[in-house]
Amino acid sequence: MHAPDFTSDLDLLDDEVEKLLDLAAEMKQTPTRYAQALPGKSIALLFEKPSLRTRLTFELAIKQLGGEAVAVDGPIGGREPLKDVARNLDRWVNGIVARTFSQTTVEDLARWSAVPVINALSDRYHPCQALADLLTIREAFGAERGRTLAYTGDGNNVAHSLMLTACRLGMNVRVATPPDYAPSADIAERAQAAARTNGAELLLTASPEEAVRGADVVYTDVWASMGQEAEAETRRRHFQPYQVTAALLKQAAPGAIFLHCLPAHRGEEVTDEVIESTQSRVFDQAENRLHTQKALLLMLLG
């Protein structure tokens, strides 16, 4: 590993992402081989947000590698300065996994901690999710390079991480959002540069039909993330045309798959019919969070 932390997708080099996905696939096939890969290692889980998949998959990943997980819920750096929290934790544990409201919190933890810090979700990135998504795509199609991923909805942290990771692996990415909800311009620029370097194309559009037409993967996420509840009704009006329906999915390539990072608001960003269809791989994605996070932990702490 060239960097000790995983605060954003770009903390892994392109070839490291490839190696991580290969390792995750191997660990999925032969879990017992890695049952004592991190003996005696303790990892702190800091969670400012409620969580099902992230919390349980990290706890299980650590335990299945022979390590121990300790969890703390609530604001990070509320009762005492964050730099003090980080320097307490690094005396006790071998790594820190943080699910935070702000990307700044993750970066500050990494700045002050002497042990690796993993971004388990922030307002800007969801890098662990993107790794699981790419493993799921690889399992469905054999390889991701040259395939096309269409994302429709909010240009949020999930969209950011998908763009940065998929474009670096040679996938074409099309992101359809309402104009006021487009991905951050600086992240789009970095993803565009990665796409050019790796022979892929990145398209930002306001048209879900343009994004989905002929795509191999159709992806969406909730319209209002945690902390945006007050905007939910306004967002619902803006995003209704971006709902993934059976009719929209039919415009994708034959054999296309549907992905969603979950939890899903059925009847909002996706219909129940789509998420329960044979094209849906959402529970494969959820499972793959466990395997890619095991590979990430082993690469960082092994």
126 is catalytic: yes
**Token reading at 147:** 């395939």
Multiple choice CATH, 9-126+289-301, 3.40.50.1370, 3.10.20.440, 3.40.640.10, 3.40.50.720: 3.40.50.1370
Count of Cβ atoms closer than 10 Å to residue 138 Cβ: 19
Whether 9-126+289-301 and 129-285 share one fold: the answer is yes
**Token reading at 210:** 């343009």
The whole-number pLDDT of residue 51 equals 94
What sign does the dihedral 113-92-72-117 (CA atoms) show? positive
The whole-number pLDDT of residue 3 equals 53
> What distance in Å separates the CA atoms of residue 94 and residue 16, rounded to the nearest whole number?
21
How many Å from the N-terminal Cα to the C-terminal Cα in the chain? Answer: 10
Count of Cβ atoms closer than 10 Å to residue 174 Cβ: 23
Region for 66 from its dihedrals, namely left if φ exceeds 0, alpha if ψ lies in -120 to 50, beta otherwise: left
Radius of gyration, alpha carbons of the chain: 19
289 is catalytic: yes
Which candidate, 2, 69, 9, places its Cα nearest to that of 191?
A: 9
Which candidate, 24, 86, 6, places its Cα nearest to that of 295?
A: 24
* Below-50 pLDDT ranges, the chain: 1-2
> What distance in Å separates the CA atoms of residue 68 and residue 265, rounded to the nearest whole number?
33
Which candidate, 31, 104, 90, 110, places its Cα nearest to that of 294?
A: 31
Domain locations along the chain: 9-126+289-301, 129-285
Strand order in the sheet with 117-121: 68-73, 42-47, 95-99, 117-121
Which listed residue (124, 168, 260, 289) is catalytic? Answer: 289
Beta strands in 74-171 (DSSP E): 95-99, 117-121, 148-152
Which listed residue (129, 192, 243, 279) is catalytic? Answer: 129
Which listed residue (133, 261, 279, 293) is catalytic? Answer: 261
Residues in the chain: 302
pLDDT tens column, 73-116 = 999 998 999 999 999 999 999 999 999 999 999 999 999 999 99
DSSP letter assigned to residue 182: P
Rounded to the nearest 5 degrees, what angle is found at the Cα of 193, between the Cα atoms of 188 and 196? 125
The whole-number pLDDT of residue 2 equals 47
160 is catalytic: no
> What distance in Å separates the CA atoms of residue 208 and residue 244, rounded to the nearest whole number?
9
Which listed residue (99, 160, 174, 235) is catalytic? Answer: 99
Rounded to the nearest 5 degrees, what angle is found at the Cα of 288, between the Cα atoms of 299 and 163? 80
Q: Are the CB atoms for 149 and 173 separated by under 8 Å? A: yes
Which listed residue (53, 138, 221, 285) is catalytic? Answer: 221
Which listed residue (53, 55, 126, 147) is catalytic? Answer: 126
196 is catalytic: no
Number of helices (H), then strands (E), in the chain: 12, 9
221 is catalytic: yes
Domain 129-285 has CATH 3.30.43.10: no
